[in-house]
Amino acid sequence: MAEKPGNGGGDKKPGERLGVREIARRVGVAPMTVSRVLSNPDMVSAETRAKVLQAIEEAGFVPNRLASSMRGNGRMIGTVVPPLINSGIAEQVQGMSDECHEGGYSMLLVQGEFTQEAEEQAIRTLLGWRPAGMILQSFVQSETARALLLSSGAPVVEISEIKGRKPLDMVVGVSNFETAYAMTMHLAAKGYKRIGFVSTPIHGNDRLQQRRTGYHAALAELGFDNFGDMEVEVPITAQGGAEALVTLTERHADIDAIFFSSDTLAVGAIQECHRRRWPVPERIAIAGYGDMDLAAQLVPSLTTVKVNRYEMGRRAVRQLLARLSGDAKVPTITSLGFEIVDRESA
């Protein structure tokens, strides 16, 4: 019987996990050659290596790291996180770690970025260890990554925006649209009319995209002017917040409030105001997002959106463990809510 063209002589069935032998058969090499491409690529010729890697990519093959190192007991939760310089992400990871420990699971962390390429690579790496479940710190962007996760058969929790997009499996979080909308309306209710917005880079980050959309929606409802140059994207550092303050106040001398998408940025802005001897909120009001520990201790104390990131991490693991135990009633969407904390800076 003639082999079907374009599939190396075999079709991958839904949910089927291809192994080294199948990849070797498709390329026409020995299984050891495929193993060497994965572990010691310099030992394989460039031409053969390229063929093997192409077959791996086309087949959606994920190498089993446990098979080449040690056999696990299946009690491991994997997570992909953005850089931990974000204090909110660090709080989530701590919550996840504590809940895993109490549930008798270990946690494997792989760092990724908010790009499809980095996301795919991080998920491939993590799935190679065959975790019992996966927690991702945002919605999965890449269709390839989504297909990999679905074919793995492991339950997945995305810690992300809870509205506007169907989760891959389960989602735990808040409506970032509603949090930003509420903070913008809160500032307007206190009399501020020229409200700027500062965030870290938004591309690929569904939570920040929704915060900006919520900010825009509030301004539109209030009838306030919404100029694009009243928004700035900067790195998530205190220095970034300071530079954003300078940029916006130089562009708009009459700007009277700035809503920062992170407390870290807001702290930097308040420190810059101190350096310039600008009274806060008399010269300009500052609001943040996250309610980090330092927020209440600043002078002036920081008005911010309180989101329980630590509990998000714990709840995400709890959802996974419930699913793994066979609980059929685990909710698809879990909202933890938020609070506008009104302090002295606005």
Per-residue pLDDT tens digits for 182-208: 999 999 999 999 999 999 888 777 788
Assess if residue 95 is contained within a domain.
Answer: yes
Structural domain of 44: 20-59
Q: Verify that 211 and 99 share a domain, yes or no.
A: no
Q: Verify that 140 and 191 share a domain, yes or no.
A: no
Q: Verify that 77 and 141 share a domain, yes or no.
A: yes
pLDDT(306) > 90:
yes
Task: Report, as an integer, the average pLDDT of 293-321.
Answer: 95
Write the pLDDT tens digit of every residue in 202-243: 877 778 889 999 999 999 999 997 667 899 999 989 999 999
Confidence of residue 328 (pLDDT cuts 50, 70, 90): confident
Q: Verify that 213 and 274 share a domain, yes or no.
A: yes
Last residue of a domain, one of 37, 59, 81: 59
* Total domain count, the chain: 3
Q: Verify that 302 and 314 share a domain, yes or no.
A: no
Last residue of a domain, one of 7, 35, 59: 59
Neighbours of 46 (CB within 10 A): 9
Q: Are 12 and 60 in contact (CB under 8 A)?
A: yes
What's the token pair of residue 16? 């089927």
Write the pLDDT tens digit of every residue in 88-121: 788 888 999 999 999 989 998 887 766 778 888 8
Q: Verify that 206 and 302 share a domain, yes or no.
A: yes
Q: Angle CA(21)–CA(26)–CA(32) in degrees, nearest 5?
A: 40
Q: Verify that 257 and 149 share a domain, yes or no.
A: no
Assess if residue 15 is contained within a domain.
Answer: no
Assess if residue 6 is contained within a domain.
Answer: no
Write the pLDDT tens digit of every residue in 293-303: 899 999 999 99
Strand partners, 285: 257
pLDDT(5) > 50:
no
Task: Report, as an integer, the average pLDDT of 80-93.
Answer: 74
Q: Verify that 188 and 93 share a domain, yes or no.
A: no
Q: Verify that 209 and 270 share a domain, yes or no.
A: yes
Q: Verify that 169 and 233 share a domain, yes or no.
A: no
Q: Verify that 158 and 201 share a domain, yes or no.
A: no
- Supply the CATH number for residue 115's domain: 3.40.50.2300
User: What percent of the chain is modeled with pLDDT above 90?
Assistant: 52
Name, in order, each residue with C-beta under 8 angstroms of 84's C-beta and a sequence gap of 6 or more.
90, 93, 111
Write the pLDDT tens digit of every residue in 140-166: 777 888 888 888 889 999 988 888 778
Q: How many whole angstroms separate alpha carbon 289 and alpha carbon 264? A: 9
Query: What is the reported pTM?
Result: 0.74
In angstroms, what CA-CA distances link 340 with 38, 174, 303? 50, 13, 8
Assess if residue 4 is contained within a domain.
Answer: no
Confidence of residue 85 (pLDDT cuts 50, 70, 90): low
User: What percent of the chain is modeled with pLDDT above 70?
Assistant: 87
Assess if residue 345 is contained within a domain.
Answer: no
pLDDT at res. 17: 55
Write the pLDDT tens digit of every residue in 244-279: 999 999 999 999 999 999 999 999 999 999 999 999
Assess if residue 11 is contained within a domain.
Answer: no
CA-nearest of 100, 71, 140, 167 to 320 is 100
